[in-house]
Structure 1
Amino acid sequence: MMLTFEPIWPKAKSSSQKRDYPSRQAFCAWLEKPLGRRLLKTERAELERILPGLFGYHLVQLGAVRKGTDLLSSSRIWHQVVLETGTWSEAQPPSLLSRADTLPFASATVDGMVLPHVLEYEANPHQVLREVQRVLVPYGTLVVLGFNPWSLWGLWRLFLWRWGQVPWCGRFYSLTRLRDWLALLGFETVELRYFLFRPPLQHPRLMRRLRFLEGVGQRWWPFLAGGYLVVAKKQVMRLNPVDPLWRKEEGLEIPGLAEPTARERIRD
């Protein structure tokens, strides 16, 4: 089974246009910082528990991350594609670029999709999920990595989002809202994982001292984690045909009609 696609090349926005959401380039630049590298290390470890159980022909990661970091390395699926979703400099365009809300794949051709913090930086996350639902094969797998607004990371965002700093300028969606969106599109959530219980501090020594919060948070307040991973399966609605009623009797019995009676020949 071949995966065919035609890349869609969005043009970079001019500086005069107002940008409501930061580009993927800004998010990838933040991933170079100590806190971003710690986030990628944690999420890669979480993906290593999920991806080996996925099977199929094609696995797509929507949205690149830090250069030199391969989030799909633990997967057994041989054909892996990473699509960048942001604008780029014409002098150095990426190898594969696409809009997140208009994926360049035919319907029902992709076995698995991984979205590492894509919805937070898209103006229309509903359309992104609709496109993912379209390109996934029946019972295909979707893996979403996101930030939890009801956490210490969400608290940091309340104070920093207005300054336009990444990642706080993105929109954090709660697990309840995300699962509602997925259910409306016919996905069934099969697994949830929580991580990042420490505050988002840039000091490595202090973060090491607060390492105990990860174990305590997993046990006592998992819903207050700074990050989450959602695994969902695309379900297919089936029409249940009416099975024919096979009867042992040779004749056809129609309810509501009088049963035939034997007639005797009248002789004169």
Structure 2
Amino acid sequence: MKRPSPRDRSADRQALVRWFAGPLGAALLAAEQARLDATLGSLSGYHAVQLGDLGEADLLRRCIAPHRVVVEPDSAGGAGRGGLLAVPERLPLAGDSVGVTLLPHTLEFCDAPHEVLREAYRVLIPEGHLVLVGFNPWGLWGARHLLRRREAPWSGRFLSPQRVKDWLALLGFRVELTEHLFYRPPINSPVLLKRMGVMERLGGRWWPPLSAVYLLVARKRVIPLTPIRPRWRARRGLVPGGLAEPTTRANREEP
């Protein structure tokens, strides 16, 4: 199967931004913004980087990092508002320099999601945090994804939280938080979405794995390289009984 080109992914990303401006996307974005506000406010670091934009929403608004930047692969997104033009698989950032990295639906619309996570690990400082939001391939949203792959956001590659966790563990991350949110069905009626608000409370209690999206928080682990010292065993000068210890050279008997 032919892999999509970066230009195709860029078009999908722009379609995703337009979808988030609609009724269903706006309701989901409000739920994601609330959870990100609560999560990012407790993560420290001087630099915070967001890989991919979701329109005019300031997803890093509650992040306490004094320097924040949005990385966008085209000028139609965050780069036009003071961001940085780059692809998430090849970040023009120094290693061990970023305190917090945010991936809002970034993995679903990139060519190599594992490489994006590898780059996120590279640029994070030791013990820095990765915050990731992704569409859940299970439940009603997952079923819609199987049926409508030509339209955003269903055109993205939905990755299960367990698969993402496995990738993070292989790279050296430790997952500290997993949250599921938004349980209303994928319908574009503002009236019905409002009436179904009770499903948020019921879904979080009874069927959390069937949420529309999930949020992961992972910390970059750094294992120090501790040199292994050789265990020297002191040679005893005496053998039990107080006698002198024999040497390795055997005495030759006189004829």
Under a length normalisation based on structure 2, what TM-score does the superposition of the two structures give? Answer: 0.85
User: CA separation in 1, counterparts of 2:96 and 2:32?
Assistant: 27
Secondary structure, aligned partner of 2:33: helix
* Deviations 1:8-31, CA, capped at 9 Å, x for gaps: xxxx84xxxxx3674322211111
- The answer to whether residue 52 in structure 2 is matched with residue 66 in structure 1 is no
Please point out which of 29, 50, 69 is paired with 1:40.
Answer: 29
Name the Cα RMSD after superposition. Answer: 2.3
Name the residue aligned to 2:252: none
Map 1:56-95 onto structure 2 (within 5 A).
56-67=45-56, 69-85=57-73, 87-88=74-75, 94=80, 95=82
Name the residue aligned to 2:189: 203
Q: Kindly indicate whether the alpha-carbon contact (under 8 Å) linking 1:21 and 1:170 is maintained by their aligned counterparts in 2.
A: no
Q: Kindly indicate whether the alpha-carbon contact (under 8 Å) linking 1:22 and 1:169 is maintained by their aligned counterparts in 2.
A: no
Name the residue aligned to 1:9: none
Deviation, 1:159, is: 1.0
User: CA separation in 1, counterparts of 2:200 and 2:142?
Assistant: 17
Q: Kindly indicate whether the alpha-carbon contact (under 8 Å) linking 1:31 and 1:65 is maintained by their aligned counterparts in 2.
A: yes
Map 1:232-251 onto structure 2 (within 5 A).
232-242=218-228
Q: Kindly indicate whether the alpha-carbon contact (under 8 Å) linking 2:9 and 2:109 is maintained by their aligned counterparts in 1.
A: no
Deviation, 1:40, is: 1.2
* Deviations 1:183-217, CA, capped at 9 Å, x for gaps: 00000000011111110110011111211111111
* Deviations 1:33-86, CA, capped at 9 Å, x for gaps: 11111111110000111111111110111111112x21111111111111113x
User: CA separation in 1, counterparts of 2:233 and 2:129?
Assistant: 47
- The answer to whether residue 99 in structure 2 is matched with residue 111 in structure 1 is yes
User: CA separation in 2, counterparts of 1:49 and 1:243?
Assistant: 46
Secondary structure, aligned partner of 2:214: strand
Please point out which of 149, 174, 177 is paired with 2:137.
Answer: 149
Q: Kindly indicate whether the alpha-carbon contact (under 8 Å) linking 2:12 and 2:155 is maintained by their aligned counterparts in 1.
A: no
How has the CA–CA distance of structure 1 residues 230 and 32 changed in structure 2, closer, same or farther, with 3 Å as cutoff? same
Q: Kindly indicate whether the alpha-carbon contact (under 8 Å) linking 1:22 and 1:121 is maintained by their aligned counterparts in 2.
A: no
* Deviations 1:95-139, CA, capped at 9 Å, x for gaps: 421111000101100001000000000111011111001000111
Secondary structure, aligned partner of 1:81: strand
Percent of paired sites with the same residue: 42
Please point out which of 45, 52, 56 is paired with 2:41.
Answer: 52
More helix by share: 2
- The answer to whether residue 180 in structure 2 is matched with residue 194 in structure 1 is yes
How has the CA–CA distance of structure 1 residues 135 and 209 changed in structure 2, closer, same or farther, with 3 Å as cutoff? same
The one-letter amino acid of 2:50's match is Q
The one-letter amino acid of 2:168's match is L
Q: Kindly indicate whether the alpha-carbon contact (under 8 Å) linking 2:48 and 2:101 is maintained by their aligned counterparts in 1.
A: yes
Name the residue aligned to 2:13: 24
Q: Kindly indicate whether the alpha-carbon contact (under 8 Å) linking 1:120 and 1:146 is maintained by their aligned counterparts in 2.
A: yes
Q: Kindly indicate whether the alpha-carbon contact (under 8 Å) linking 1:108 and 1:134 is maintained by their aligned counterparts in 2.
A: yes
